[in-house]
Amino acid sequence: MKAELVKLEAVLWVARWEHKTQALSQIFGSPRAACYCLGAVILVLNCVRSHCFTEAMKSQPKLEGWDCHWTYYSGLTISAVGTLFVISSFLALGFTGTFLGDYFGILMEEKVTSFPFSILDNPMYWGSTAIYLGWSLMHASPAGLLLTAVVAISYTIAVLYEGPFTEEIYRRKQKGEKSKALSGVPRASLVPTLSDLPIFLRCILLINPATLNEPTAALEVTRGTA
């Protein structure tokens, strides 16, 4: 469990450090290249974790009561569902969306709401957990179940740290887009025209209806009546 938490803390620390300094982007030449490198490191670490998980199950005794066809196929079904969640999440997010691309400034246009995100939040994490759970049942391994719990706890911690930070990144993005949109609006479109005046005020000012869509001419009429 300690090794899993150290790996989690290291990955999140590197991602946040990159978000603050853009150091990795400068080293690798671009944010996308840096994200690909971090993603490759995460994949290698996941492979090492899976190997250690398997070796731990092999080295520990099986639970005899679970060493049957029913438990095996139940685990196989759970692993298949978990694999479906992981693969569909990756296809929906892409490589950079899966491997912390938002920390590198590689943001998605909008929040993904398609399957499997329409079913549950963080399907990549819980899909991986389901794979380990199913794997443990297939091998009738109490040690595997214990390690699956460790994986679930690690992902829960990741969600608690990563979720609010990611939401803040996209909140700033939306705020910046709104400011940019307002700055691009011509000032004239923000100033009320005489056609916006109530009818009784038009009559008082003796405004010619033909000048309602001509702000300059209408302004001259207003000055003349003043």
For the annotated binding site for S-adenosyl-L-methionine, the residues are 80-82, 162-163
Q: Which residues contact 105 (CB under 8 A, 6 or more apart)?
A: 19, 22, 25, 31
Task: Encode burial over 56-93: b for 16+ CB neighbours within 10 A, e otherwise.
Answer: ebeeeeebeebeeeebbeebeebbebbeebbebbbebb
As a whole number of angstroms, the distance between CA 91 and CA 83 comes to 12
Q: Which residues does the annotation place in the binding site? A: 80-82, 162-163
17 contacts 8 by C-beta, under 8 angstroms: no
Encoded tokens for 163: 């979720």
